Structure 1
Amino acid sequence: MFIVVAGILAIVGALIGGYYFAMRPVPLKIAVGPPNSDDLRVVQALTQAFSQNHGYVRLRPVQTEGAAESAQALAEGKVDLAIIRGDLNVPKNAQAVATLRKNVAVLWVPPAKGRRKGAKITKISQLAGRKIGVIGRTPANVNLLKVILQQYGVDPGKVEIVQFPITEAIDAVRNQKADVWLAAGPVNSKITTEAIAASGKDGGTPTFLAIDSAEAIAQNHPVYESADIPAGAYGGSPDRPEDEVKTISFNHHIVARKGLSDSTISAFARQLFSVRQQLMSEFPLAAKIETPDTDKDAAIPVHPGAAAFVDGEEKTFLDRYSDYIWWALMALSAMGSIGAWFAGYLKKDERFINSSMRDRLLEMITIARKSDSSEELDNMQSEADDILRNTLACFEDGAIEHAALTAFNIALEQFHNAVADRKLILMSMPQTPPRAGTGNGPQLRATGT
């Protein structure tokens, strides 16, 4: 019994420990950059929300210099998650979890006043020999510009490209340090809006250059999509732009390192979309978070855990660990059987002795029916009492079962009946007279003479 109880406690302890191990919070490192960017602020807000809601997944932000560095950190296995641009070289071990936001490319020409001499620029094909300012230090924006120029037959080598940090971009636009400007970001990007507004401070309306070949670019470069900038997206009076402008877009993705547990990524995706509404008031960009593309030909393959969340096929705790629970129950059953066999093995001598005593009791039934002495019957009665005490002790110890006790009770009852019947017979039999020359008889006869 001790062994069985110990085995049960061990298995129950293992199940409790396994449940705690399976449900404990899982920390995931997420690479995001650059510093002071909207992406970093959104990730910091997600980190706080996950912690406050006691989520299964907890985030540990790792700051980088930009999306390219975040992608490199994921490729090297230094982080579990990363926020990357879809038009960069995506690491081979990256799998999509969510689309953080959609970005658009904006090309505009400042008003003619104060601008360098030359023909008015109204088309991208007229950019040869011009100076183009790119907002942001990331080389991805320069690559984006080159893709656009090449589509329109403009040799990037014949264009002067100058990059300006975000902190210096507004002053550079205001001081007309370039003929044309390129910005990449969400349609409602604050940086892009301020830069466009700065270009029209001296009066006039910026000219937006439409990328009419957006669909052709998307065909040649699957990481880009055709998109439209709505009229008035960047404010102003008159509206900036006055009409809808054709452009291209690309996505910022939250990607996970290939090989991460499906259940962990499913939990992360579920938490991400559950707190999205909570963050919208403080971070409007959170409203742009979307589920990943689950098509097999997607630019970035989706993580199986994220796909399970999107398709509603997440596995529950029982689904994930039912096999382990089944094997644990089988082990518990086996432990019980082994324990019962071992306990029976330890008491085999006791059962053998008790069986011998029962046989002795049956033997005494035969002897009692033929006994001619009340004293012999009393002695067998005392022996039967000892056998009864031993049998009850064996039953309490578990050496014999209830069926064996019932059989013993029948034998004991038969023995008592045999003793009682024999004593009645002996009491009814006449006493044997004493032989001559013994006892008081001869003395009386001697006295009489």
Structure 2
Amino acid sequence: MLITLAGTLALVGAVSAAYYFAMRPVTLRIAVGPPNSDDVKVVQTLTQSFAHGYVRLRPVQTEGATASAQALADGKTDLAIIRGDLDVPKNAQAVATLRKNVAVLWVPPAAKAKKPAPKITKIQQLAGRRIGVVGRTPANVNLLKVILRQYGVDASKLEIVQFPANEAAEAIRNQKADAYLAAGPVNSKITSDAINASTRDGASPTFLAIDAAAAIAQNYPAYEASEIPAGAFGGSPARPDDEVKTISFSHHIVARKGLSEATVSTFTRQLFAVRQTLLSEFPLAAKIETPDTDKDAAIPVHPGAAAYVDGEEKTFLDRYSDYIWFGLMGLSLLGSIGAWFASYLKKDERSNNSSLRERLFDMLALARHSDSADELDQMQAEADQILRETLNSFEQGAIEQGALTAFNIALEQFHNAVADRKALLTSMPQNLQRAGVQLRASGA
């Protein structure tokens, strides 16, 4: 009983400890940048929403997507927000698509005060021109070069100048370039402000279609063929006035390979659970999508995120049932070993009790032929001592109930034999008793 109780308490303690360690909050470090960007705002909002969840976030601000990817590659963070068209760390696995970005190429209308230059209506006509790129990240320049390369335009034959996002509108109004490139969500305020700054005297900018978007996507898996809807940037008349073909790429939330499947699964579930509640406060959260779970995806999906998407999340019992089962088996084995060891330790007591029981049987035979009341009294005193030792052995578990019952029967027979013999001796004359004693003594 003690071994069983101890095993049960150990099992309850082990399960309780496992549940505590499995369910205690986990804080994940997430790399995001640049400072004051929409990505940082999204992560800050998610951090507040996750404050009381199982998975919590600790933002680690970086200089941009490239630095965030490097932080994940170096193992300094658990999660990161990266651009899909940049080098993806080998240890990165997709958790969610934060947003899709489109490349927007446009040409402002010519100023009336200036001598009209040949109008740019095609990407091939950008050769020899000055191209302004919105944003300081080198990734946008690489994006422009990918587009130019597809159309056979030598990037070295034109001038590329970058403008910080907060200075782009002013640079466009001051006609710092002949054409401009911006990359961001279709509803990006930065892109909309830049395009609105290109409007002059009611004339709208000319949007350059990337008709070879499908070919670019085939050559560069990080990009997809996409379209900019008519009127996406507002204005009157609508800008653009018709659908424009372009390429798109995604910003991904990726997790470090090897991060707990259960943790990533819970993080993904929390992420999509709060998405709808964030819409009123931060509309960009509506762009969060589940990752691509295909085996040939550009960024392999993390098993935890895949489990959430496929509806195969594991419960606590699913994850730890094997451990609990093996724990029960182990406790059962330990109980058996403990019982055998306890039995082994009491082997001498059982052996001693067996010899005491044999001694009681011998005294039973002697009592039936004894001719001395004193001898009977001595045997009865010895039987009392045997009884005491037998009861002690039973209390210590050295003998079982069945053995004790058999001993009681033998003890009862002994007492009956002593009583019968004493009654017989009492009824016999003293001279006959002495004669019997002397006869047995001489025979001995």
Question: How does the TM-score come out when normalised to structure 1?
Answer: 0.88
Counterpart CA distance in 2 for 1:84 and 1:389 is 82
Give the C-alpha shift of residue 365 in structure 1.
1.9
Q: Secondary structure at the match of 1:370?
A: coil
2:439: which partner in 1?
A: none
2:185: which partner in 1?
A: 186
1:246: which partner in 2?
A: 245
Q: Does 1:64 align with 2:62?
A: yes
What percent of counterpart residues are identical?
Answer: 76
Which runs of structure 2 are paired with 1:23-102 in the superposition (5 Å)?
Answer: 23-52=23-52, 54-55=53-54, 57-102=55-100
15-24 vs 410-419, which moves further: 15-24
Counterpart CA distance in 2 for 1:292 and 1:35 is 25
Which runs of structure 2 are paired with 1:35-434 in the superposition (5 Å)?
Answer: 35-52=35-52, 54-55=53-54, 57-114=55-112, 117-200=116-199, 202-426=201-425
Counterpart CA distance in 2 for 1:335 and 1:215 is 66
Counterpart CA distance in 2 for 1:77 and 1:342 is 50
2:440: which partner in 1?
A: none
Counterpart CA distance in 1 for 2:362 and 2:277 is 88
**What one-letter code is carried by the residue in structure 1 that aligns with 2:165?**
I
Q: Secondary structure at the match of 2:368?
A: helix
Please say if residues 101 and 289 of structure 1, whose CA atoms lie closer than 8 Å, have aligned partners that are also in contact. yes
Q: Deviations over 1:371-411 (max 9, x none)?
A: 33444444433332332222222111112111211111221
Please say if residues 371 and 433 of structure 2, whose CA atoms lie closer than 8 Å, have aligned partners that are also in contact. no
Please say if residues 4 and 339 of structure 1, whose CA atoms lie closer than 8 Å, have aligned partners that are also in contact. no
Give the C-alpha shift of residue 74 in structure 1.
1.8
Counterpart CA distance in 2 for 1:384 and 1:433 is 28
Q: Deviations over 1:311-359 (max 9, x none)?
A: 2233333333334333332332232223223323333333333222211
Which consecutive unaligned segments of at least 5 residues does structure 2 have? 435-444
1:443: which partner in 2?
A: none
Q: Secondary structure at the match of 1:301?
A: coil
**What one-letter code is carried by the residue in structure 2 that aligns with 1:79?**
T
- Closer, same or farther: CA 116–388 of 1 in aligned 2, 3 Å: farther
Q: Deviations over 1:50-108 (max 9, x none)?
A: 222x32x2222111111111112222222221111111111222221111110011112
Please say if residues 261 and 305 of structure 1, whose CA atoms lie closer than 8 Å, have aligned partners that are also in contact. yes
Please say if residues 268 and 305 of structure 2, whose CA atoms lie closer than 8 Å, have aligned partners that are also in contact. yes
375-384 vs 255-264, which moves further: 375-384
- State the Cα RMSD in Å: 2.6
Give the C-alpha shift of residue 141 in structure 1.
0.9
Give the C-alpha shift of residue 253 in structure 1.
0.7
- Closer, same or farther: CA 375–145 of 1 in aligned 2, 3 Å: same
**What one-letter code is carried by the residue in structure 2 that aligns with 1:170?**
A
Counterpart CA distance in 1 for 2:155 and 2:409 is 109
Counterpart CA distance in 2 for 1:431 and 1:301 is 110
Please say if residues 84 and 252 of structure 1, whose CA atoms lie closer than 8 Å, have aligned partners that are also in contact. yes
Counterpart CA distance in 2 for 1:401 and 1:336 is 19
Q: Does 1:20 align with 2:32?
A: no
- Closer, same or farther: CA 138–373 of 1 in aligned 2, 3 Å: same
1:441: which partner in 2?
A: none
Q: Secondary structure at the match of 1:414?
A: helix
Please say if residues 111 and 200 of structure 2, whose CA atoms lie closer than 8 Å, have aligned partners that are also in contact. no
1:447: which partner in 2?
A: none
- Closer, same or farther: CA 187–433 of 1 in aligned 2, 3 Å: closer
Q: Secondary structure at the match of 1:51?
A: coil
Q: Secondary structure at the match of 1:282?
A: coil
Counterpart CA distance in 2 for 1:149 and 1:395 is 96
Give the C-alpha shift of residue 433 in structure 1.
8.1
Please say if residues 369 and 418 of structure 1, whose CA atoms lie closer than 8 Å, have aligned partners that are also in contact. yes
**What one-letter code is carried by the residue in structure 1 that aligns with 2:141?**
V
Q: Secondary structure at the match of 1:315?
A: coil
Give the C-alpha shift of residue 191 in structure 1.
0.9
**Across the two proteins, how many residue pairs are aligned to each other?**
433
Please say if residues 35 and 63 of structure 1, whose CA atoms lie closer than 8 Å, have aligned partners that are also in contact. yes
Give the C-alpha shift of residue 412 in structure 1.
1.8
421-430 vs 265-274, which moves further: 421-430
Give the C-alpha shift of residue 260 in structure 1.
2.1
Give the C-alpha shift of residue 110 in structure 1.
1.7
Which consecutive unaligned segments of at least 5 residues does structure 1 have? 436-449
Q: Deviations over 1:286-324 (max 9, x none)?
A: 111111111121111222222222222333333333343
Please say if residues 109 and 200 of structure 2, whose CA atoms lie closer than 8 Å, have aligned partners that are also in contact. no
Please say if residues 229 and 247 of structure 1, whose CA atoms lie closer than 8 Å, have aligned partners that are also in contact. yes
Bigger Rg over Cα: 1
Please say if residues 425 and 433 of structure 2, whose CA atoms lie closer than 8 Å, have aligned partners that are also in contact. no
Please say if residues 116 and 179 of structure 1, whose CA atoms lie closer than 8 Å, have aligned partners that are also in contact. no
1:440: which partner in 2?
A: none
